[in-house]
Homo-oligomer: A and B are copies of this chain.
């Protein structure tokens, strides 16, 4: 998985930082997570082919997370897109986008599928043999979901040494990688476990923005490879964080620790902070593996 931060500024864009948007690539498939104003500009800036996006996930209907969506949808039309686009987001998103396109007198040439969300429980919204995407119900001022992306590792790696030892012919390799036993040159059945390395664990990325400190998400994101958790404020502004249902860096780290994730990425910083290094310092007092978001920053998961 490859994650590109397109924007990580809370509330409104700043000179050097856009509002929330991320591109996640899993096995060559591109998923857009949130779409603040100017996301299409950020996508171009970081060399993403707009047409590669097939699924867009909108956490909630605050402008800094979805005001770039109507423009992106319109631009995809103008670029001659024909393949369908799937949009997952809170109930109401279809009405909003439909109204804007109707006012402009210009429906898309491609199919636009809206998958409106209203469940307060975690549900699987997209799944195939290679990945699974489920919601992470969050606690913010309006109905909000985070999203958990799991890359399913189906293939095992061959233990070349043993494959050669038992003289397994190459036509069997694909089947063995997928879990089948092998047959040696002299007709002997060789157990799969002797021919493959132990299966790699599935990798997962949890996106949690916007939310207050909400331990109810911990069972859902438990043991994730990477957690992006909003940290709009520092502990020094805990009162405002609580009032506006946002998190502090320390609270994000507390979630990361309790969920036993490998890496925590912080983002959605309030514009009141000129220097974001303080977020890292604060979070590291609780959890050791902390990264900061920046527009254009890439994380290989």
Contacts and interface: CB of A to CB of B under 8 A. Distances in A.
Contact of A105 (B12, B100, B103, B142): B142
B104 A99 contact: no
Count the copies.
2
Contacts of A96: 99-100, 103
A78 interface: yes
Interface string A70-84: 110011001000000
A220 interface: no
A41 B36 CA distance: 12
Contacts of A262: none
Interface in A7-33: 11-15
B15 A44 contact: yes
Contacts of A141: 105
Given A74-B12, A141-B105, A40 B40 contact: no
A120 interface: no
A70 to B, nearest CB: 5
A63 B67 contact: no
A44 B40 CA distance: 19
Interface in A58-110: 61-64, 67-68, 70-71, 74-75, 78, 90, 92-93, 95-96, 99-100, 103-106
A15 to B, nearest CB: 6
A264 to B, nearest CB: 27
Given A95-B99, A141-B105, A40 B12 contact: yes
A104 B44 contact: no
A37 B68 contact: yes
Interface residues of A, number: 35
Contact of A13 (B41, B103, B104): B41
Contact of A100 (B40, B63, B71, B75): B63
Interface in A246-277: none
Nearest to A37: B71
Interface in A118-172: 141-142
A49 interface: no
Contacts of A68: 37
Nearest to A106: B62
Contact of A71 (B12, B40, B45, B142): B12
A46 to B, nearest CB: 11
A40 B63 contact: no
14 contacts: A11-B75, A12-B40, A12-B71, A12-B74, A13-B41, A15-B41, A15-B44, A15-B45, A38-B38, A38-B41, A61-B103, A61-B104, A63-B104, A95-B99
Interface of A: 11-15, 37-38, 40-41, 44-45, 61-64, 67-68, 70-71, 74-75, 78, 90, 92-93, 95-96, 99-100, 103-106, 141-142
